[in-house]
Each structure stands twice: as structure tokens, then as C-alpha cells.
């Protein structure tokens, strides 16, 4: 036993560690040339960047060579609409929220000029997450109103990156809309798709509560508490609905450059009615496939790609779902084309499910709205408030243009049931409705719970509905609603 030596075992351990070290070194050295190659890429010519406002993006880079790319961006502080009746002073890059989309490729030499409009009140700067350098460019771009700063950087790493203002207090500048996306395409470009769109989520904090009318100021304490009044896509409630909805045709591939400016909340991005075929996780080069919902951190991004197979309206949401239906993080992608029943058949059978037997079932009840003295608004004020209430309360079931959902929720557009009896319409909103009704010759059998709305809100939303989509132009007042409330 004395002659047994453990030296060979020690040598094996040393050899193993040496191999592991060499493998690690080799893997690190594999990464380094990519950065070095990008840094040393030959610049051939000069072009001015085409900057676009959301949801548009510039044309793909394709296989163009690395160039000197001139980027000219102007900061504008300007009043805009958060939602109907609610105004806000946005601080913007390029006059939009999110700011202008910047499209580059690996190896570009970017000459960036940031101008601060002389009518602005505050100094600003820009921190681009695609920049390798102090503050992402923030240290070189601090600029007072009426001045401009120029700095340059090399795009070393492909990916989709956020940019934002980094002037103190940083959170306040971001919360007022100072964020956007810069795309650095790989050499040879991204794979082609049929449609590309630019969408970015942000959370906003106002002195008034959600929906409170007038010009709203930023609320620092709410921002510190992360208590957002609005969570929106592209800077406003319903910024991607109606005439602003995204569009595609059946069979097309869609790529969404999806960012999250924050400043606080993480986005759970989901498209109702689709599955992401490919997700470039956190905007980088790692690809995940067949994804339902992708997490996008504040100050982060993702590229999602999918093919649309059937027509209809796909709904973009933050799947922290009250943000979508109550705070504004909701958009639409309208798909046109022929049906494909192999993919989706629609309703094939409809019946009544009575788990309680054949006896009368009670309708779910919600809390009653707070009592109020009748508050008579002008017709214009009722229409504005009514649209806001509709978008927050009725939108999901009855759809953005009152078309309803076939066989499930009746239409409000050109609705004979609605137009025939205004008092009945008020009662339905006040007290709910269950059982079979016939609207425009079609039978519906579903449940609408009573709504926790004030008399003024009910009068406004009904006035809005009656004055849109081919309805009778009736006006409903708070006094009419109060009379019906007291009659029960």
C-alpha cells in the first residue's frame, strides 16, 4: 500500500481543468472576432437615415455594405391626446411616441445629431442601448433648448435596442414619452417578411385618475409607486385601433418590432388569435419558436414573427389583462382574405347550457355605481366621454365599430332592438340583461351584467352609441337615466 501513488489522478484533474480552460478561452475568442470585425468593417459611402414614426418602419437594410449613416433627430415637447378628452404634454424624439425608428446594420458608422427645439423648456439627451460607450451616448448629447450636439458611434452588435432620454430625473423624461427603438441588422440583413410594424408600450402617470378630462400633468409620486393611470401602445389609448389598426392579408408573414419604454412596468406581449412562429428573445439573436406570450422588460425589446392564416381582427394586448381593457394596452391587426375552415371553423353549434336545471337562473350582479347629482353635459362633451366609456367598458364584446361578435354578442350598429326603445336601452345598461333577444333578425342568447357606471357615464355612452354606426341620433341625458334608475 505504501507504493500506491495518487499523482496520476492529480495529473488527470490538472489536464481536465486545462482542457476546460482552453475550451472556455476558445469560446470567448469566438465572440471577440465578431466585435473586432464589425469595428474594422470598411465604410463604403455615406447615406442619411430614413427615420419613421410608428407604426411604420424604414425599408429593410438587405445586403447593403456598411456605411456612414447620418441620423438627424429633433426633440419636441408638445401637447397630444392620451384618450378622448384627456390631453398630455409629451416629450418626444422626432414628434412621436415612441420616437422615430432608426434602422442600421452591423458595422455602420453612425453620425448622430440631436437637436433640442428652441421652443422646448428643458434640456435633454439620448442613451441608445445599441451604443458601446459612456452612457450610450448620453454623456456626449446633453443639449439645451435651441442647441444641437453631434457624436458618433460604431454599431458592433446586431439586435433590436431601446433608446431613451437619460437626463435627470431619468424616470420622468422616459415617463413623458422619451423612448424609441434602434434596429441593428446583421450582415446580409434580416430574412424578408411581407409586413413590418413598430409598436412600443409605455406606462403614464397623471395627476387626474384614468379618464379624468382636461390637460393632465405628470404625477411623480404615482410614478415612484409604479401606479400607472395609463398603459398604452404607441403613446395613447387605442393608438392601434380603428383607422390606426395594423393590417395584413391571409397568408402574409408579419414582423412586429415590439419595445417597452417603461419606465416601470414589464410587458406580457400577446396577440389574441395568433401564435408567434419565431421570437427573437429580448431583441437579440436567440430565437424561440411557437410562443404564446413573450415577456419584454422595461427598457427591452423583442422581434416577433408569425404568418396569418385566417381573416379577422387579431387583438394585441399586454396580457397583464386589466392593463389592456382598463388602461389602454390594446391594439388591432385586421386580417383580410378568404376563410380557411381547416384552420378555424367558427361556431358550428349553439345551445343553452343550464347547469342549474330548467329553473330560472339569476344573472351575475356587480356593485352599484356611486350615486351622483344629475350632471348635464353638452352633446359634444357627452360624445367625447361616451367614446371613452365605450372603449373601456363595451369595446371587447360589441367591438370597435359596434359590429358585435356573430352569434354571441349582438351588434349595436344599425340595431333595431336598440333604436326601438331608448328606455329599454337605459334599463339594460342599468340592470343588465339575460335571455333571448332578436337584433336585426338574428337571435342572441347571452348575459350582460349590469354596469357600475354613473348616470352621466350611462347617458354619455348611450348618446355616443346612438350617434354612431347608422343609429337614430337620439340623445340621452343624466336626468333620463336617473329617472329610470329610480323607477326600479
Of 446 and 95, the one with more pLDDT: 95
Cβ-based neighbour number of residue 423 at 10 Å: 13
Q: Is 173 marked within a binding site?
A: yes
Which of the listed ranges 301-310, 387-396, 423-432 does the model predict with the highest average pLDDT?
301-310
- pLDDT digits 0-9 by tens, 334-365: 999 999 999 998 766 656 565 655 444 444 54
The reply to whether 165 sits in an annotated binding site is yes
Q: Tell me the domain boundaries of the chain.
A: 46-185, 195-336, 379-487
Residue 383: left if φ>0, alpha if ψ -120 to 50, beta else—which one?
alpha
| Position 22 pLDDT exceeds 70 | no
- Does pLDDT of 29 surpass 50? no
User: Does 398 belong to an annotated binding site?
Assistant: no
Given this chain, do its domains 46-185 and 195-336 carry the same CATH topology? yes
Are the C-beta atoms of 269 and 296 separated by less than 8 Å?
yes
Confidence of residue 92 (pLDDT cuts 50, 70, 90): very high
Count other Cβ atoms within 10 Å, centred on residue 57.
21
In tens, the pLDDT along 413-454 reads 999 999 999 999 999 998 888 778 999 999 887 777 777 889
The verdict on pTM exceeding 0.75 is: no
The neighbour count for residue 408, using CB atoms within 10 Å, is 12
What's residue 31's pLDDT?
Answer: 47
Instruction: Give the Cα separation of 485 and 51 in Å (integer).
Output: 54
Percent of the chain with pLDDT strictly greater than 90 = 72
Confidence of residue 118 (pLDDT cuts 50, 70, 90): very high
DSSP 8-state secondary structure symbol assigned to residue 367? P
Q: What is the 3-state secondary structure (H, E, C) of 408-455?
A: CECCCCCCHHHHHCHHHHHHHHHHCEEEEEEECCEEEEEEECCCCCCH
- Find the mean pLDDT for residues 146-164: 97
pLDDT in tens, 235-265: 999 899 888 999 999 999 999 999 999 999 9
147 is in an annotated binding site: no
pLDDT attached to residue 148: 98
pLDDT range class, residue 52, cuts 50, 70, 90 = very high
CATH 1.10.760.10 holds for 379-487: yes
How far apart CA 460 and CA 454 sit, in angstroms, is: 10
Over residues 197-238, the pLDDT tens digits come to 999 999 999 999 998 999 999 999 999 999 999 999 999 998
Give me the torsion for CA of 433, 434, 435, 439, rounded to 10°. Answer: 40
- Residue 11 scores a pLDDT above 50: yes
Q: Please determine, for residue 404, whether its predicted confidence score (pLDDT) is greater than 90.
A: no
In whole angstroms, give the CA distance from residue 124 to residue 73: 12
- pLDDT computed for residue 439 by the predictor: 93
Q: Which of 285, 293, 345 is nearest to 324 (CA)?
A: 293
For residue 459, pLDDT beyond 50:
yes
CATH number for the domain running over 195-336? 2.60.40.420
What is the C-alpha separation between 111 and 152, in angstroms, rounded? 4
Q: Please, what CATH class does the domain formed by 46-185 belong to? A: mainly beta
Residue 124, annotated ligand binder?
yes
Tell me if 319 is assigned to a ligand binding site: yes
Amino acid at each position: 500500500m505504501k507504493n500506491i501513488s495518487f499523482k496520476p489522478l492529480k495529473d488527470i484533474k490538472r489536464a481536465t481543468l486545462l482542457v476546460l480552460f482552453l475550451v472556455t478561452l476558445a469560446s470567448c475568442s469566438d465572440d471577440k472576432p465578431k466585435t473586432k470585425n464589425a469595428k474594422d468593417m470598411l465604410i463604403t459611402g455615406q447615406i442619411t437615415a430614413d427615420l419613421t414614426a410608428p407604426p411604420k418602419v424604414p425599408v429593410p437594410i438587405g445586403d447593403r455594405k456598411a456605411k456612414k449613416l447620418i441620423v438627424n433627430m429633433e426633440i419636441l415637447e408638445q401637447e397630444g391626446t392620451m384618450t378622448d378628452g384627456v390631453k398630455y404634454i409629451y416629450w418626444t424624439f422626432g414628434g412621436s411616441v415612441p420616437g422615430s425608428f432608426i434602422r442600421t446594420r452591423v458595422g455602420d458608422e453612425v453620425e448622430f445629431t440631436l437637436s433640442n427645439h428652441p421652443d422646448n423648456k428643458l434640456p435633454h439627451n439620448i442613451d441608445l442601448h445599441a451604443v458601446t460607450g459612456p452612457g450610450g451616448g448620453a454623456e456626449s448629447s446633453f443639449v439645451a433648448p435651441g442647441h444641437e450636439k453631434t457624436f458618433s458611434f460604431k454599431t458592433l452588435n446586431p439586435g433590436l435596442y431601446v433608446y431613451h432620454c437619460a437626463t435627470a430625473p431619468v424616470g420622468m423624461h422616459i415617463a413623458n414619452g422619451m423612448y424609441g427603438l434602434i434596429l441593428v441588422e446583421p450582415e446580409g440583413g434580416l430574412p424578408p417578411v411581407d409586413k413590418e410594424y413598430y409598436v412600443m408600450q409605455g406606462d403614464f402617470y397623471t395627476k387626474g385618475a384614468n379618464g379624468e378630462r382636461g390637460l393632465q400633468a405628470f404625477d411623480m409620486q404615482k410614478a415612484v409607486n409604479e401606479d400607472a393611470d395609463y398603459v398604452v401602445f404607441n403613446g395613447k389609448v387605442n393608438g392601434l385601433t380603428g383607422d390606426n389598426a395594423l393590417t395584413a392579408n391571409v397568408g402574409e408573414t408579419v414582423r412586429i418590432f415590439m419595445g417597452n419604454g417603461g419606465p416601470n412596468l414589464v410587458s406580457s406581449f400577446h396577440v389574441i388569435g395568433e401564435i408567434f412562429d419565431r421570437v427573437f428573445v429580448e431583441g437579440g439573436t436567440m430565437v424561440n419558436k411557437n410562443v404564446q406570450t413573450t415577456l419584454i422588460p422595461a427598457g427591452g425589446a423583442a422581434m416577433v414573427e408569425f404568418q396569418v392564416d385566417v381573416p379577422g381582427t387579431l387583438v394585441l394586448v399586454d396580457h397583464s389583462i386589466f392593463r389592456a381593457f382598463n388602461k389602454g394596452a390594446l391594439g388591432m391587426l385586421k386580417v383580410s382574405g378568404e376563410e380557411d375552415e381547416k384552420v378555424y371553423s367558427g361556431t358550428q353549434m349553439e345551445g343553452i347550457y343550464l347547469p342549474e336545471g330548467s329553473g330560472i337562473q339569476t344573472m351575475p350582479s356587480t356593485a352599484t355605481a356611486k350615486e351622483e347629482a344629475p350632471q348635464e353635459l353638452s352633446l359634444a362633451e357627452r360624445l367625447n366621454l361616451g367614446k371613452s366609456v365605450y372603449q373601456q367598458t363595451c369595446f371587447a364584446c360589441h367591438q370597435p365599430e359596434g359590429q358585435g361578435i356573430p352569434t354571441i354578442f349582438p351588434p349595436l350598429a344599425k340595431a333595431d332592438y336598440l333604436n326601438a326603445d331608448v328606455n329599454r336601452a337605459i334599463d339594460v345598461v342599468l340592470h343588465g340583461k339575460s335571455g333571448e333577444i332578436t337584433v336585426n333578425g338574428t337571435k342572441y342568447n347571452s348575459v350582460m351584467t349590469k354596469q357600475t357606471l354613473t348616470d352621466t357615464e350611462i347617458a354619455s355612452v348611450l348618446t355616443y352609441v346612438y350617434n354612431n354606426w347608422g343609429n337614430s341620433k337620439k340623445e340621452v341625458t343624466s336626468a333620463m337615466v336617473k329617472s329610470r334608475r329610480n323607477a326600479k
